[in-house]
Structure 1
Amino acid sequence: MWTDSRNLGEVWAPEIVTDGGRYYIYFSAGRGTAHRMYAIHSASPASGYTAERQLALPDGKWAIDGSLFTFNGQRWFVWSGWAGDTNIEQNIYLSRMSDPLTPTGSRYVISQPRESWERVVGNPFINESPEAIRDPNGQLHIVYSANGSWSDQYCLADLRLRAGGDPTYVWDWYKSNGCLFGSNRSTMMAGWDPTLYVNGPGHHSFVLLNGDIATSPPAGPRFPLMYHGVPKGTAYSWANRHWYTGTFCWWGNTTYRRANVPGPTADTGFSIKFFE
């Protein structure tokens, strides 16, 4: 579909969605501090793609793992990036989009790796691989990967936007109180169990119709997802990662708690259960 003819280097994390009858693939490319988000698009899913176009994300900083979604009639772009020009920590950012290729306005931080369970492996500390999905109540979730992807502490966690909340206001987001899909019991949220067969599951993709979060499944049934991990009993390294299929389902009446921040200290709604 596309070749790195300009030698951008280190092409990571392609994400495909549709918008207005066209297929868009977003990916990060670059080396070292040069990673930025790019997009290609076509009327056909498997051919005819344009040359890559760099997205002019607000502030122009290092950016990876980006994806487009629409929520309440507004297009958004979500990605992982740096606040400045140094590799201290990776945060999750949102920006409005006026069309699938054009960011507009400011970038807004919605998550930073500040909880103890997402700082087990750092240098840098990491929130990355954000994926949007809408729950059966219509609330927006951003499920992301925490801890270093080079370790078996890599795991999935959840950000849930409170009912009626503003996606650009960080304190309207409530974070799960631990990993929801991981291989270490010590970092799992209470009531969630670690994996049996893989270590360090992370950077998932929800399998949604055309990548549209409005096609999120109803409560109860399980639906497919993809993720990568390392088979238990195998040395953990990027080279030993495999793609896996799994399933997920909505898990209701789940309270996320927080302290020492503005707004209510608890929010109850849907969370997610993941299965290998």
Structure 2
Amino acid sequence: MGILRRSSAVAALVLAGALAVPLSLSVPDTAQGAAPERAGAVQGATGLRAADPSVLRVGSTYTAVQSADGGIVVRQASSLDGLASAPAKKVWSDTGGLGGVWAPEIVRDGGRYYIYFAAERAGARRMYVISSASPDSGYSAAKKLALPDDKWAIDGTLFTFQGRRWFVWSGWAGDTNVEQNLYIARMSDPTTPTGGRSIISQPREGWERVVGNPYINEAPEAIKDPNGQLHIVYSANGSWSDQYCLADLRLRAGGDPTYVWDWYKSNGCLFGSHRETMMTGWDPTLYVDGPGHHSFVLLDGDIGTSPPAGQKFPSMFHAVPKGTPYSWENRHWYSGSFVWWGDTTYKRANVPGAETDTGWSLKFFE
């Protein structure tokens, strides 16, 4: 596939009928330039030193999943901020010698809970799934997902769009660590892929190639905009760098999720800490460096419950406090929010299909 070249897009217009929100991405609910609400604290910090948050809400309970102690733990609380102090209940241990456990994602489908995670042994990283009728107990033994082509994979998650189940993940095209692409495949049920894998994004833009070896698109999360169009928001640049950031893929209206040229990429980071890589009209963060690997905190984890225009909605992400050396060990979970941002044009060139697509984008708040 050729290089996906896209130029900068003009900043989005204010949401029709939206609540008043700051034009700066980085100021949550205070005037631009105001101090954080908690003196000496990083805005939205949960106190949980960890990475790769995956959170959903069922009723009034927030459930988060995390890899820890050679297995997977679940935390439950009545608020996002309460997750940090909630007890971590271990729901799965690697008794089968699968290897290192990475980036679990919790999903609810048909009233049952599924946790997808990557495990690696001898450099071979593959996706696995466990399931239970309860979010914090009774999980099954791990089952390897038979993803098409059986290549290195991480950050996989399930969602339903237009009545069909889909699985999206980050992985390699072949057997060497050149770059991590985003792939999508159909699912006949929550544990059974069907058909082939289709590439939907490669890290080929300058702003997502600031840090490489390999170049990375990872941590995809699905959400549906107010027009009913599918978005995959993902993390770009290496997670070991403060250039880590969030970007967006928007499926054109009526588009085929398996056809790469029906996807339009944001023309820069939508949530990041370096102005030079931000999409025009989007500002860098004030309080944290390298925000990424986020979770849209949706009811039941269902993109059918995606928020309408005009409402701030909760999210979680990991980042490092500004002024702290950027390292994996210094990452924390943060609670934040996002809103839909209308009339946003994504541009591209030298590829099949229309060069521009205008629709909803997102703005994220610390």
**TM bucket, shorter chain:** over 0.9
Amino acid at match of 1:145: S
Q: Which residue identity is paired with 1:26?
A: Y
TM-superposed deviation, 1:219: 0.6
Matched residues in 2 for 1:4 and 1:226: separation?
26
Segments of 5+ residues of structure 1 without an aligned counterpart are none
Out of 271, 283, 291, the residue aligned to residue 201 of structure 1 is: 291
What code does the residue aligned with 1:202 have? G
Q: What is the Cα-based RMSD across aligned positions, in Å?
A: 0.6
Q: Give the match for residue 59 of structure 2.
A: none
Q: Could you give the per-residue CA deviations for residues 182-235 of structure 1, whole angstroms, max 9, x where no partner exists?
A: 000000000000000000000000000111001000111101011000000000
1:135 to 225, 230, 233: 225
Higher relative contact order (CA 8 A, sep 6+): 2
**TM-score of the pair, normalised by structure 1:** 0.99
Is 2:352 the partner of 1:258? no
Matched residue, 1:149 = 239
- SS of 2:123's equivalent? helix
Corresponding residue SS for 2:261: helix
Partner amino acid, structure 1, of 2:239: S
- Taking structure 2 as the reference length, what is the TM-score of the superposition? 0.75
Instruction: For structure 2, list consecutive stretches of 5 or more residues without a partner in the other structure.
Output: 1-90
SS at match of 1:211: coil
Secondary structure, aligned partner of 1:234: coil
Percent identical pairs in the alignment equals 79
Deviation at 1:21, TM superposition (A): 1.5
2:180 pairs with 1:97: no
1:33 Cα offset (Å): 2.8
Preserved contact between residue 33 and residue 85 of structure 1 (Cα < 8 Å):
no
2 CA distance for matches of 1:204 and 1:149? Answer: 12
After superposition, the Cα gap between the structure-2 partners of 1:178 and 1:32, relative to the gap in structure 1 and judged at 3 Å, is farther
Q: CA deviation at 1:32?
A: 5.3
Task: Compute the displacement of 1:31 (Å).
Answer: 3.4
What is the CA-CA distance between 1:17 and the residue it aligns to? Answer: 1.1
Match of 2:40 in 1: none
Distance in 2 of aligned mates of 1:74 and 1:45: 23
**Equivalent residue number for residue 165 of structure 1:** 255
Question: Does 1:36 find its partner at 2:126?
Answer: yes
Give matches, 1:117-128, under 5 Å: 117-128=207-218
Match of 1:214 in 2: 304
**Runs in 1 of length 4+ with deviation above 6 angstroms?**
none
Aligned match of 1:114: 204
The answer to whether residue 328 in structure 2 is matched with residue 247 in structure 1 is no
What is the Cα deviation at residue 7 of structure 1?
Answer: 2.3
Which structure has the larger Rg over C-alpha atoms? 2
| Partner-residue secondary structure (3-state), 2:95 | coil
- Residue 237 of structure 1 corresponds to 327
Q: Which residue of the partner structure matches residue 274 of structure 1?
A: 364
CA contact (8 A) 1:62 1:82 kept: yes
Using the alignment, how far apart are the partners of 1:191 and 1:249 within structure 2? 15
SS at match of 2:300: helix
1:219 partner SS:
coil
2 CA distance for matches of 1:123 and 1:111?
17
The one-letter code of the counterpart of 1:160 is R
Distance 1:178 1:7 in 2: 40
Q: Equivalent residue of 2:329, what SS?
A: helix
Q: Shift in Å at residue 26 of structure 1? A: 0.5
Secondary structure of 1:210's partner?
coil
| Partner SS for 1:87 | coil
Q: How many pairs does the alignment contain?
A: 276
In the TM superposition, what whole-angstrom CA distance separates every residue of 1:41-95 from its partner, at most 9, and x where no partner exists? Answer: 0111110100000000000000000000000011000000000000000000000
Q: Secondary structure at the match of 2:283?
A: coil
Equivalence for 2:151? 61
Aligned counterparts of 1:163 and 1:270: Cα–Cα separation in 2 = 11
**CA distance in 1: counterparts of 2:303 and 2:320, whole angstroms:** 28
CA deviations 1:225-263 (Å, max 9, x no partner) are 110000000000000100111000100000000000000
Q: Matches of 1:33 and 1:99 in 2, distance apart?
A: 28
> Equivalents in 2 of 1:205, 1:31: separation in Å?
27
